[in-house]
Amino acid sequence: MTVSALKPHKEPAPGMVEQRGLGLWFTHAVMIFGVLIIFFPIWLAFVASTVTQPEIVSPPMPLWPSDQFIPNYKKALFSGVNVPVATMLVNSLIMAIGIAVGKIVISLLSAFAIVYFRFPGKKMFFWLIFITLMLPVEVRIVPTYEIVAGFGMLNSYGGLIFPLIASATATFLFRQFFMTVPDELAEAARVDGARPMRFFWDILFPMSRTNIAALFVILFIYGWNQYLWPLLITTDPEMNTIVMGIKQMFPSGDDVADWPVIMATSILAMIPPVIVVISMQKLFIRGLVDSEK
Amino acid sequence: MATVELNNVKKRFGSVEVIHGVSTTIKDGEFIVIVGPSGCGKSTLLRMVAGLESVSEGEISIGGKTVNDLEPMDRDIAMVFQNYALYPHMSVRENMGYGLKIAKIPKAEIEEKVNAAAKLLQLDEYLDRRPRDLSGGQRQRVAMGRAIVREPSVFLFDEPLSNLDAKLRVQMRLEIRDLQNRLGITALYVTHDQVEAMTMADRMIVMNAGRVEQIGTPLEVYETPQTLFAAQFIGSPSMNVFETTIQNNILSIGDITVPVNTEAKGKVAAGMRPEHVIVDDNGPLSITVQMGEPLGANTLLHGRLDGTSDAFTISLPGVHHTVAGQVIRFAVDPRHMHLFDIKSGGRI
């Protein structure tokens, strides 16, 4: 089922105001103005990544791209400041995908347990998971660091990913979705001879795919944008992720910052989340609005 | 194909007993309809046979094997649910073959069985569609197909027609009955619709409040209802019941007396079906009509039985133009008079 609001339609949906003439121009003008305001800093960053260092530091700042695009990006990608940006991109990608996939797998399984099984302390476990919503990374960061350090996972992908993959939000979301799946479906599968895990794989998992896609997009961006945690546990520049890596590129003391390379890195850091959002846009929107029955 | 035996089956949810001991034997190939008002425990009973609910007490056996502790898949049953319970992301073909796929039956054989069932149910053209692209009747057929391909020994139906419109319901009723006849598979069918029960059942089980009121063929239940509940539940419009006293084979309503042939004495509940009323200008009983309902083939007249304050309905064949306030006199054939104990509701 697609959503009617997404289809082009000749008549405005009830509740929407029909825009004609001046009103139409006005709303478009406001929208374009808004987009320009949001887009301008990104444009500046892009311009800064295509010029030379002296051009940036001498006011006024250039507003149009220059010819240093290829050298700047080449330098950023393959040598960087501390470590090549390509390495940081790979690190970020592994971390973001690891967090997104890990969160989805764990949440799916725990929601499955909470909705479909009767076990002692079921309610308590649900509330325990739910309470962790109140404990974001920042609050529990010291004990978590202690544990990760104890396991010797500093400067490793495991250390970057595991502490962040428990997710009350995703568990709650899947729980809500599973509760809308009619009980008869589980019963029909039982009569058909499906054991619980089989039911999970064959029925529940495919039915949740739009929700999974929507969550993947959100969680990928969440993972990609992690700053504090990677900053804390990766001391080896080889393990830096790009979001924290940008900060590491600022020189301490009186050294001169290599602004064109830093700006090129910023632009590069934006690309993967944009690709994920655009490529999964359709599924993403369907997952948010449609429960696929 | 198998017999199903229920032996004093009880169900408790916590400390609340909802089924108070049901015993019956269902013969091989028989079509049994469990009928009763909502909340009488009929679905629970069916789900216990299916293995979806545990049995609190008593024993259920299918084909001579006690199945109390078996999973649904090991009971050799197939079930059709009220809302069809089709897997929304699978095609009709996959829906029908899913049980076989789990049973690890070779693909070619699944294909063959699904095709055969689809042909039987006239679903051939729809095999590659998703359930959401089908109409209610077609979905119902797919649910039936899913049950058929597994070649179970018992079919269980949980109000399968209640989501369909009236016309389709009549058609599917015939189809289900015909199919079960051809396949010769024992069937247990739950419904709250007494018309479905009357038309489909070899024997019906009338349930009320977790108890069996009567087990018998539709006509047995219609002609000799064993309890007041069965009498009023089966038959449409339902049986007229009024309180009377009987002395020396004379039934008296106010100062009107009607001879009956019974051993009952004192206060009883007398029942009379609307269609068994014999209109007779010299008849002893009469009603004052309050409202008429012309149905075409017959006309229902609602009113109060004169001499009592009880509502009374008469069903007359053909079209009658009656006005409110009109008095209709009628006689009763004593054979069509049902007498029940007022306290226990049992037949006298």
pLDDT digits (tens, 9 = 90+) for A59-83: 777 788 878 788 888 887 887 777 8
Lowest mean pLDDT among A246-250, A285-289, B218-222, B262-266: A285-289
pLDDT digits (tens, 9 = 90+) for B140-192: 889 989 998 988 999 999 998 888 888 888 888 888 898 888 888 999 999 99
pLDDT at position A2: 41
pLDDT mean over A119-131:
87
Number of Cβ atoms within 10 Å of the Cβ of B301: 24
Asked if B87's CB is within 8 angstroms of A203's CB, the reply is: yes
pLDDT at position B11: 92
Interface of A with B (CB under 8 A): 1, 182, 184-185, 187-194, 198, 202-203, 206-207, 292-293
pLDDT at position A3: 43
Contacts (Cβ under 8 Å, ≥6 apart) of A137: A144, A163, A164, A226, A228, A229
Contact (Cβ atoms closer than 8 angstroms) between residue A212 and residue A167: no
pLDDT mean over B77-95:
90
Mean pLDDT taken over chain B: 89
pLDDT band at B308 (very low <50, low <70, confident <90, very high): confident
What Å distances lie between residue A204 and A108, B71, B88, CA to CA?
A: 9, 20, 10
Interface of B with A (CB under 8 A): 50-52, 71-73, 77-79, 81-83, 85-89, 98-99, 102-103, 132, 146, 150
DSSP type of residue B260: -
CB-nearest partner of A192 from B52, B83, B99: B99
Lowest mean pLDDT among A164-168, A210-214, B133-137, B208-212: A164-168
pLDDT mean over B23-49:
92
Residue B314 and residue A176: Cα distance in Å, rounded? 53
pLDDT digits (tens, 9 = 90+) for B239-257: 999 888 888 888 887 777 7
Q: Where are the alpha helices (DSSP H) in B184-261?
A: 194-200, 218-223, 228-233
Asked if B99's CB is within 8 angstroms of A193's CB, the reply is: yes
pLDDT of A4 strictly over 70: no
What residues of chain A lie within 8 A of the CB of B99, using their CB? Answer: 191-193
Mutation site, A184, A187, A192, A209, interface B, largest B CB count within 10 A:
A192
pLDDT band at B214 (very low <50, low <70, confident <90, very high): very high
Q: Which residue of B has its CA nearest to A291?
A: B88
pLDDT of B327 strictly over 80: yes
Beta bridge partners of B190: B34, B158
What six digits make up the tokens of A177?
A: 């979705």
pLDDT of B281 strictly over 90: no
Mutation site, B101, B130, B158, B190, interface A, largest A CB count within 10 A:
B101
Asked if A184's CB is within 8 angstroms of B146's CB, the reply is: no
pLDDT at position B216: 93
Residue A162 and residue A102: Cα distance in Å, rounded? 8
Residue B270 and residue B285: Cα distance in Å, rounded? 13
pLDDT of B224 strictly over 70: yes
pLDDT at position A73: 84
Greater confidence (A136 vs B131) lies with B131
Question: What is the Cα Rg of chain A in Å?
Answer: 24
pLDDT digits (tens, 9 = 90+) for A188-198: 999 988 889 99
Q: CA geometry: angle at B121 spanning B116 and B126, to 5°?
A: 85
pLDDT band at A289 (very low <50, low <70, confident <90, very high): low
The answer for B326, left when phi > 0, alpha when psi is -120 to 50, beta otherwise, is: beta
Contact (Cβ atoms closer than 8 angstroms) between residue A223 and residue A97: yes
Beta bridge partners of B271: B241, B338
Residue B315 and residue B301: Cα distance in Å, rounded? 6
What six digits make up the tokens of B118?
A: 């689809």
Residue at token pair 């959401």: B132
Beta bridge partners of B35: B191, B206
pLDDT digits (tens, 9 = 90+) for A22-62: 888 898 999 999 999 999 999 988 888 888 877 777 777 77
ipTM, two decimals, is: 0.82
Q: Between A and B, how many residue pairs show a Cβ–Cβ distance under 8 A?
A: 63
What six digits make up the tokens of A180?
A: 């809308």
pLDDT of B35 strictly over 90: yes
pLDDT band at B226 (very low <50, low <70, confident <90, very high): very high
pLDDT at position B92: 92
CB-nearest partner of A184 from B85, B132, B150: B85
Mean pLDDT taken over chain A: 83
pLDDT at position A100: 93
DSSP type of residue B239: P
pLDDT of A251 strictly over 80: no
What residues of chain B lie within 8 A of the CB of A208, using their CB? Answer: none
